[in-house]
Structure 1
Amino acid sequence: MKAFLNEDFLLQSSTAQTLYHQYAAHMPIIDYHNHLVPQQIAEDKQFDNITQIWLYGDHYKWRAMRAHGVNERYITGDATDEEKFMKWAETVPYTMRNPLYHWTHLELQRYFGVTEVLNAESGKRIYDHCSALLRSKEYSVRNLLRKMNVKALCTTDDPIDNLAYHQSIAASGFEIKVLPTFRPDKAMAVDDELTFIEYVNALSQVSGKQINHLQDFKDAIQDRHDFFHSVGCRLSDHGLEHIYAEDYTEEEIELIFTRLHSGKTINKKEKWQFKSAMLVFFAHLDHAKGWTQQFHLGALRNNNNRLLSSLGPDTGFDSIGDFEQAKSLSKFLNTLDTTNQLAKTILYNLNPRDNELFATMTGNFQDGTIVGKIQFGSGWWFLDQKDGMEKQINALSNMGMLSHFVGMLTDSRSFLSFPRHEYFRRILCNLIGQDVENGELPADMEWLGKLVKDISYTNASQFFNFE
């Protein structure tokens, strides 16, 4: 019987152990998609206790606590930070076989040297120990990033953001690149017409451009795109149920924008036409600057109206959706490819039924100009756990080229989530190691070691070229 979370955690063969310990473990991290707060990096924030850095904003943990019957007061309510942590500690033993159990103990071990399991009995000791460390300078936000060997990270930012904190970080000489990502979802979110016009007005103010017509709107967006580029942005990101690829003419989109701008409503077809046109416009901007575009597809958001009304979005009430993906995705990518304006692209799916669909779709638009130009992204959200990662890796291996994969990201709001890269690397090494043990791959450790190092770090470094 192996000890829980020992040095060979998840590594079930000697080959896997060699691949991980000799090749993967010490590779730097490029975390090219997360939701970290740049202000906290700029100010090199110190957290007062582990609840603040670990439980605030973590809807993964919140969902588990609710399922365990924990009152909302101890989740997002007015309980003290210590009380909230203790309720989480009580919950943790019941999360066995949920990835939270692994992540929780990996993070406690890697950051704080805690090797005992977290439960109601150990909770107070662990809370006091970790909180004391967090109040020391060695555990400031920047030092936490250094501790995990992070070389670059990309936050997720709205086009109207002034990026002041990114500029401050760059000016400070901080050796880790902290770059923005252009996330223009609100610039095409016309399901609520009034909210959209409020956004247009905010965009007008930030860009300093009067927006009365569609071209004014596009000019303002391009102005922000140019500004993001000047601050180091090299990626865009879109969080959608599915790709929109309705037929439209520029005249139709101009008319739709005019109706929106005058306070009128538009029908479902017009909404989809407008979203389709904007996606193409964003993609053209990305291609012109050599950016990478990312599409996170398939989330069914805000399912619980009662709790959404009291707690707001992004509080743990989203799930996997069952949207049709293939035809619109193919049409969109083909539209861009037809005019040779298809940028480097990463596609993430949330429904595991679509793994092979997405993996094969990437192959349709590889054109020999860039290694791995179209990527099937890592297991995302509900799929960034052992089973989900293995299925994504296997689908990519079967349908494409795992060797050119740009690897893992955290997609997290927590500065303690970087051991997810280790988790991914161990799973990757274990799968390859098992193939070697089964005689399905040659035991060429030099080549396999290069493969593991490339997927862990080098491919991303070359693909994004943040230097």
Structure 2
Amino acid sequence: MTDAWVLNPDRALPAGELRPIAKEIYSATAGLPLVSMHGHVDAAVLAEDAPFPDPAQLLVVPDHYLVRMVVSQGGATLPQMGVHPVSGAGSDAGVETDARAIWRRFCENWHLFRGTPTRYWLEHELVEVFGVTRRPSAETADAIYDELTATLARPDFRPRALFERFGLEILATTDPATADLAHHRALAADGWGERVVPTFRPDPLLHVDRPDWRTQLDALSEAAGTDAHDYDGYLAALRRRRRAFVEAGARATDHGHLLADTTELDAAEAGRIFRAALAGEVSPAEAQAFSGHMLFQMARMSTEDGLVMQLHPGSLRDHDRGLAATFGQDKGYDIPVATEYTRALRPVLEAFGHHPSFRFVVFTLDETSFSRELAPLAGVYPAMRLGAPWWFLDSPDGMRRFREAITETAGFYNTSGFVDDTRAYASIPARHDLARRIDAGYLARLVAEHRMELDEAVETAVDLAYHLPKAAYPAPAPATV
């Protein structure tokens, strides 16, 4: 191939008569700052601001979307893609440590990503961010690797420089409830405290049947400076940690439960289950009831400290349990399940759905619930907003289906705007760009069908891309009762 690799400026915009309208709408959002309020980039990346190690460690190994596709086709195993066993779970023998070899495997399997959002994001990253001029293939792998290696060595491609180039206004990380937040303190000392903010993620502490739950309690006690080994102390420790996150600039909490159940238990029953868990005698049903009860408690605490509560249920984590025991979580083996919301969310919405200090952003992996349950709920409870299409739905067609399913009931303004939910730092601008193009296409159809004026469509697109995420995740203010 002799021609330089150039991306079509109209990619992902609708074809035919809608395209000129969509292009005009998209032009109003293309240059807006990025508001990234839900993601999994490690704060250490920005606090340390060290050069990225190599193309494979930046773009391949941490991207479970990418790794799972190659593994699914037998193109490589997890170790061959550079994934190490967790500490104590096995030997590193057989793990590929040659970054160039990992990169070659990725390039050799480039064809597997045709039609996927991963392909769109990677194309944007390679061409628009890093200036790559060749399409990935077995033949071009080494040349691209060398080109990227030289680029990553430049000061203007360090994490903070890319933050500026991406146009990021604010980035929220996701942090364990027991995190010491040292990297956030370092960022604050450098003047980045309002640009990179933590998010409180207490999941390991709320699932009392986890094998490491007792260890998590020990860590919570140490982090909070109070004994969390009885139920009252446990609640007090969680409140203390939430306050520490607020003081560090946090805007939200984040909860990834299997079910959306938010049924509150009475205090005596919650305490009994807590003690049973401490004794190693808790049943699966009791553990599930306790996790639902704790979601209710998290909502109550949000009315007290102002942290936005995010809930994204419906993923059966670690489908291959043996593989998860060896390689850990987030390796591509989390699979969606059908999720019920109407009854499950009723306790928390009846209690707090009209509370002036409660903000509740709900995501789903079950798109059958968009129009049947989630849009009607968000369309009536002031506290609730629909989170953007997430994970397997974070795709061109998934985002279109989301708009088509929810807009007639919830409108645009009962949503969170776009949330990228990424671990892959360099993909952040690609994901926001795709969402802006898809929204432009949807709005263009409404304009062409004379259901909306062009100026309204432009205003709506700007709100979805920029204003709504900021409104959905405000800085905590003292609660009013």
Q: TM-score higher than 0.5 here?
A: yes
Distance 2:413 2:350 in 1: 25
1:39-83 per-position Cα deviation (integer Å, ceiling 9, x unaligned):
111011211321111112211111111123222243123241111
Query: 8 Å contact 1:103–1:420 — kept in the other structure?
Result: yes
Distance 2:448 2:44 in 1: 47
Query: 8 Å contact 1:295–1:347 — kept in the other structure?
Result: yes
Q: Which amino acid aligns with 2:468?
A: N
Which segment is superposed worse, 177-186 or 47-56? Answer: 47-56
The residue that corresponds to 1:434 in the other structure is 445
Distance 1:439 1:113 in 2: 40
Distance 1:41 1:395 in 2: 38
Match of 1:448 among 457, 465, 471: 457
Counterpart secondary structure, 2:175? coil
Query: 8 Å contact 1:298–1:322 — kept in the other structure?
Result: yes
Q: Tell me: CA distance 1:405–1:211, structure 2 relative to 1, closer, same or farther (3 Å).
A: closer
Q: Is 1:266 the equivalent of 2:282? A: yes
Q: Which amino acid aligns with 2:463?
A: D
Counterpart secondary structure, 2:362? strand
- Paired positions, count: 453
Match of 1:195 among 186, 190, 212: 212
Which segment is superposed worse, 382-391 or 201-210? Answer: 201-210
Counterpart secondary structure, 2:62? coil
Match of 1:293 among 309, 316, 328: 309
Distance 1:342 1:83 in 2: 52
Q: Shift of residue 323 of structure 1? A: 3.4
Distance 1:115 1:284 in 2: 53
1:243-281 per-position Cα deviation (integer Å, ceiling 9, x unaligned):
2234521111122223333x2412234223322322122
Query: 8 Å contact 2:260–2:339 — kept in the other structure?
Result: no
The residue that corresponds to 2:418 in the other structure is 408
Counterpart secondary structure, 2:368? helix
The residue that corresponds to 2:466 in the other structure is 457
Q: Shift of residue 434 of structure 1? A: 2.4
Distance 2:441 2:464 in 1: 14
The residue that corresponds to 1:220 in the other structure is 237
**Aligned pairs for 1:355-366 within 5 A:** 355-356=370-371, 357-366=373-382
Q: Tell me: CA distance 1:100–1:191, structure 2 relative to 1, closer, same or farther (3 Å).
A: same
Query: 8 Å contact 1:246–1:272 — kept in the other structure?
Result: no
Structure 2 unaligned residues grouped into runs of 5+:
84-94, 477-481
The residue that corresponds to 1:370 in the other structure is none
The residue that corresponds to 2:339 in the other structure is 323
1:143-199 per-position Cα deviation (integer Å, ceiling 9, x unaligned):
11111100001111111101010111011023861000011111211123x522221
Distance 1:420 1:240 in 2: 24
The residue that corresponds to 2:189 in the other structure is 171
Query: 8 Å contact 1:280–1:336 — kept in the other structure?
Result: no
Q: Tell me: CA distance 1:69–1:272, structure 2 relative to 1, closer, same or farther (3 Å).
A: closer
1:199-221 per-position Cα deviation (integer Å, ceiling 9, x unaligned):
11111122221234211111111
Distance 1:28 1:149 in 2: 5
Q: Shift of residue 406 of structure 1? A: 2.9
Query: 8 Å contact 2:447–2:457 — kept in the other structure?
Result: no
The residue that corresponds to 1:369 in the other structure is none
Which segment is superposed worse, 97-106 or 67-76? Answer: 67-76
Distance 1:207 1:174 in 2: 25
Distance 1:464 1:248 in 2: 29
Match of 2:359 among 312, 337, 344: 344
Query: 8 Å contact 2:309–2:359 — kept in the other structure?
Result: yes
Q: Is 1:95 the equivalent of 2:113? A: yes
The residue that corresponds to 1:34 in the other structure is 39
Match of 1:305 among 311, 315, 321: 321
Q: Tell me: CA distance 1:267–1:320, structure 2 relative to 1, closer, same or farther (3 Å).
A: same
Match of 1:256 among 270, 273, 285: 273
Q: Is 1:52 the equivalent of 2:67? A: no
Structure 1 unaligned residues grouped into runs of 5+:
367-372
Distance 2:389 2:398 in 1: 6
1:353-408 per-position Cα deviation (integer Å, ceiling 9, x unaligned):
12222122212312xxxxxx411111100110011111112222122121453321
Q: Which amino acid aligns with 2:22?
A: A
Counterpart secondary structure, 1:375? strand
1:394-450 per-position Cα deviation (integer Å, ceiling 9, x unaligned):
2221221214533212211111111100000011001111222233333x33x3222
Q: Which amino acid aligns with 2:346?
A: S
Q: Shift of residue 300 of structure 1? A: 1.4
Distance 1:215 1:135 in 2: 52
**Aligned pairs for 1:409-424 within 5 A:** 409-418=419-428, 419-424=430-435
Query: 8 Å contact 1:151–1:176 — kept in the other structure?
Result: no
Distance 1:267 1:108 in 2: 49
Distance 1:311 1:463 in 2: 35
Distance 2:250 2:205 in 1: 18
Distance 1:252 1:175 in 2: 41
Counterpart secondary structure, 1:107? helix
Distance 1:377 1:449 in 2: 21
Distance 1:9 1:127 in 2: 25
Distance 1:358 1:316 in 2: 26
Query: 8 Å contact 1:156–1:180 — kept in the other structure?
Result: yes
Task: Output the aligned Cα RMSD.
Answer: 2.0
Match of 1:62 among 54, 60, 67: 67
Distance 1:145 1:449 in 2: 26
Distance 1:404 1:324 in 2: 20
Which segment is superposed worse, 179-188 or 238-247? Answer: 238-247
Match of 1:136 among 143, 150, 154: 154
Query: 8 Å contact 1:406–1:456 — kept in the other structure?
Result: no
Query: 8 Å contact 1:290–1:343 — kept in the other structure?
Result: yes
Q: Tell me: CA distance 1:451–1:115, structure 2 relative to 1, closer, same or farther (3 Å).
A: farther
Query: 8 Å contact 1:243–1:325 — kept in the other structure?
Result: yes
Counterpart secondary structure, 1:346? strand
Match of 1:353 among 363, 368, 371: 368
Q: Tell me: CA distance 1:270–1:175, structure 2 relative to 1, closer, same or farther (3 Å).
A: closer
Distance 1:426 1:293 in 2: 28
Counterpart secondary structure, 2:343? helix
Query: 8 Å contact 2:76–2:105 — kept in the other structure?
Result: no
Query: 8 Å contact 1:241–1:297 — kept in the other structure?
Result: yes
Query: 8 Å contact 1:33–1:154 — kept in the other structure?
Result: yes
What TM-score, normalized to structure 1?
0.92
